[in-house]
Amino acid sequence: MSARENQLTGTWKYISLSGKSTQGDVLYPYGEHMFGMLMYDPGGFMSVLLMHPDRPGFASGDMMKGTPEELNAA
């Protein structure tokens, strides 16, 4: 494993992602208030988990009993 790969291995907190349009407007491709984490393992695999803080929970409290609409939103 290279030194750079070793530096990336682990779990990272997602803070923000933004860009600028050609007109100079700030763009947030995943939303301005997203949160989550990125995980890199020593074998070269990675995983990303992004969540929106305003997404409502399941009314039943159990995602296995979610309505089709709730499952779609999740």
**Model pLDDT for residues 5-44, shown as the tens digit of each residue:** 788 899 999 998 999 999 999 999 988 888 999 999 999 8
Evaluated on CA atoms 50, 56, 62, 64, the torsion sign reads: negative
- Long-range contacts of 41-48, Cβ-Cβ distance < 8 Å, separation of 24 or more: 41/9, 42/1, 42/5, 42/9, 44/5, 48/14
Residue 52: its pLDDT value, please?
85
Question: Which residue range is the domain that position 30 belongs to?
Answer: 3-73
User: Is the pLDDT score of 73 beyond 80?
Assistant: yes
pLDDT band at 55 (very low <50, low <70, confident <90, very high): confident
> What is the number of domains present in the chain?
1
Please give the model's pTM, rounded to 2 decimal places: 0.61
